[in-house]
């Protein structure tokens, strides 16, 4: 009997150490790690030092034993790669030591290789044949079984910025009626994102009953792409996520390369029209997923702005970040800025300021001093003000 009680206590302690959906009952603020190498302890400690709560972590860029980290080969999934899993576990341990929670967010799944690792060609096989869903579900079942009780893991973000609509008849940022008509015509097919999510969630729950699952909207997690979803999914531990880089024509790298960059605020091409983007337009656009959530009784504590940002060298970037964060904090949603101390791209590494980086940055990315800058201030100030 004493042995049974001891076992029960041990299992109880394990379950209690892993965050559940209640961890998300209050607003959580953090950053993204999309690094090419696993973040070291100094990286996690630095993010925690700004008083962040969590990190949205992808492992897809890390060098693995085989072509696709942890997966092996997206076209031939045969179980988790043990050596890669050990690397991921070690990173999660470092996050835990820093006091950070982690949402795991792969860029690739079986039959859906990340475009930048696929010769810059979109890999749409996952959205073309429902038979491929079984491998994606198996991958997540296997990963959930391994990480269910890890104290740092606060969520599984099933796939970063899915695009089942792309190339299948639905233009980006279509009006709501067009989106709903498209979904009605594609419901039940391999392009049915809510149905895909249901399939994967069911597989995860075979191994892990409690860890929250984060669901990105379609069309690169666009804030307007929940408009066509008929409603929430049935699982009780879900988070609904969207990203914010709109107006993309102004905030993105191509704009930085223009002889005369598109300004913000100002008129910007969006959804086939010219829209005057300013603080009010940002707030109105970010209200779209909240209107969908409100119409279905989904609380704000289940809504997440999983990424947002702008090219740090654009002169308006601090003002844009201020406008986005004002809208997000006013809504009381969770957020994670893109990105913190990225080692393979400096475009949205706000601690580097508003100028170019020295050449030595590319030989040793973390040799260049980082710290508070005007570009980082809208984020830093809010993290510092957390109770």
Gap between the Cα atoms of 5 and 73, Å rounded: 43
Q: Is 82 exposed, middle or buried (0-12, 13-18, 19+ CB in 10 A)?
A: exposed
Q: What is the pLDDT of residue 3?
A: 41
Structure confidence at residue 16 (pLDDT): 40
Q: Which of the residues in the chain have pLDDT under 70?
A: 1-18
Instruction: Catalogue all structural domains in the chain, each as residue range(s) with its CATH number.
Output: 27-384 (3.20.20.80)
| Residue 14, pLDDT score | 38
Global pTM reads 0.95
Report the pLDDT value the prediction gives residue 9, as an integer from 0 to 100.
Answer: 38
| pLDDT for position 386 | 82
How much is the pLDDT for 6? Answer: 39
pLDDT at residue 115 in the model: 96
């Amino acid at each position: 009997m004493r042995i049974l009680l001891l076992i029960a206590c041990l299992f109880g302690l394990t379950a209690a150490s892993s965050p559940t959906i209640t961890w998300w009952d209050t607003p959580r603020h953090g950053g993204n790690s999309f690094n090419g190498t696993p973040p070291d302890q100094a990286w996690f400690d630095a993010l925690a030092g700004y008083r962040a709560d969590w990190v949205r972590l992808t492992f897809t860029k890390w060098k693995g034993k085989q072509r696709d980290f942890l997966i092996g080969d997206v076209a031939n999934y045969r179980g988790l790669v043990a050596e890669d899993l050990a690397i991921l576990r070690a990173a999660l341990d470092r996050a835990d030591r820093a006091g950070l929670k982690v949402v795991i967010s792969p860029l690739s799944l079986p039959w859906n290789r990340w475009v930048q690792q696929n010769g810059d060609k979109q890999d749409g096989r996952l959205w073309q044949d429902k038979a491929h869903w079984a491998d994606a579900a198996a991958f997540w079942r296997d990963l959930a079984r391994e990480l269910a009780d890890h104290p740092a893991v606060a969520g599984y973000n099933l796939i970063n910025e899915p695009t089942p609509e792309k190339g299948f008849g639905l233009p980006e940022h279509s009006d709501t009626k067009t989106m709903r008509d498209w979904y009605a015509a594609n419901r039940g097919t391999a392009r049915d994102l809510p149905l895909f999510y249901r399939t994967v969630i069911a597989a995860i729950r075979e191994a892990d009953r409690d860890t929250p699952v984060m669901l990105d909207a379609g069309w690169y997690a666009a804030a307007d792409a929940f408009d066509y979803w008929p409603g929430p999914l049935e699982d009780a531990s879900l988070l609904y996520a969207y990203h914010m880089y709109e107006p993309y024509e102004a905030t993105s790298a191509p704009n930085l390369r223009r002889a005369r960059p598109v300004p913000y605020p100002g008129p910007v091409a969006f959804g086939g029209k010219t829209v005057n983007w300013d603080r009010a337009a940002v707030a109105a656009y970010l209200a779209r997923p909240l209107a969908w959530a409100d119409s279905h009784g989904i609380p704000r504590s289940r809504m997440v702005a999983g990424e947002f940002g702008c090219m740090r060298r654009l002169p308006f970037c601090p003002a844009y970040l201020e406008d986005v964060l004002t809208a997000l904090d006013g809504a009381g949603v969770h957020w994670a800025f893109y990105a913190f101390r990225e080692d393979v791209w400096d475009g949205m590494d706000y601690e580097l300021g508003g100028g170019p980086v020295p050449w030595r940055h590319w030989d040793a990315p973390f040799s260049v001093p980082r710290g508070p800058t005007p570009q980082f201030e809208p984020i830093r100030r809010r993290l510092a003000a957390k109770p």
